[in-house]
Amino acid sequence: MHDRQTLTAQLKALNLPSDRPLMVHAGLRSIGAIDGGADTLIDALLDAIAPGGTMLMMVAEMGDVPFDPLTTPADPENGMLAEIFRRRAGNGVSDHPASRFAAIGPDAPALLSPVPLHDYYGPGSPLERFVAKRGQVLRLGASPDTVTVTHYAEYLADLPVKRRVRRDYFRADTGPLTIDSLDDSDGIAVWPGGDYFAQILRDFVGNGHARTGPVGNCTAELLDGPGFVAFATEWMERELG
């Protein structure tokens, strides 16, 4: 059973940023049993980035209910921690059905707003501001295809053709809404190897660009946000062009 003190010490050993954003992707099963559950992990993360760090998570939305930025549950595909974090007292959320982030910390207001209605992961987005603030990405046993900031690299990559999609949403306050963006479900281009998100991460880590260490039962990976985006952009231009 892992407790708050032990988890905090392990997280601090990774040298998490205490003055800029930290985007977290976590698989609770991989971390193991925690005394106090997901809330304790959030406590430990906030302890580890104090006093000036900002914790950021992608929470998205449940597609089968009218969207309300404050009350709509997180997409289950983002994991249980995302929903627990969304409910956390003192957090803020971005007001976008396709790109809802939650954040706690001094940079939260600047990260979360505004969000472009279309191309919500591209220029002017929370992801662009996250990279501009030299944010870091922490992976705690999450699936390798879940590094959200890779979507920003999709906008930066210079490719002859990029797939786009239009999706319909329903807001609780204003009703139907259609949003246009790069295809952030099936990818902006076909790659023979399948899921290029996971491969980009594997190549980045395999080249020694990640800081690693134990957190609970998992091996944590800490990625530099700007460095990862530059790597992912170059990878896409080489492999998808």
pLDDT tens digit string along 172-208? 999 999 999 999 999 999 999 999 999 999 999 999 9
How much is the average pLDDT of 23-28? 98
**pLDDT of 241 strictly over 90:** no
**pLDDT of 91 strictly over 90:** yes
**pLDDT of 64 strictly over 90:** no
pLDDT in tens, 147-175: 999 999 999 999 999 999 999 999 999 99
Dmax over Cα atoms in the chain, in whole Å? 51
How much is the average pLDDT of 115-125? 98
What pLDDT band is residue 31 in, cutting at 50, 70 and 90? very high
CA 42 to chain CA centroid, nearest Å: 15
Residue, of 55 and 62, whose pLDDT is higher = 55
pLDDT of amino acid 130: 99
Rounded CA separation 171/96 (Å): 9
What pLDDT band is residue 58 in, cutting at 50, 70 and 90? very high
Write down the residue that tokens 């399948």 correspond to.
194
pLDDT of amino acid 56: 99
* In the chain, domain spans: 4-240
Length of the chain, in residues: 241
pLDDT of amino acid 65: 80
Write down the residue that tokens 């995302």 correspond to.
82
Q: What is the mean pLDDT of the chain?
A: 97
Q: DSSP string spanning 51-117?
A: TT-EEEEE----TTS-B-TTTSPPPGGG-HHHHHHHT-TT-EE-S-SSS-EEEESTTHHHHHS---S
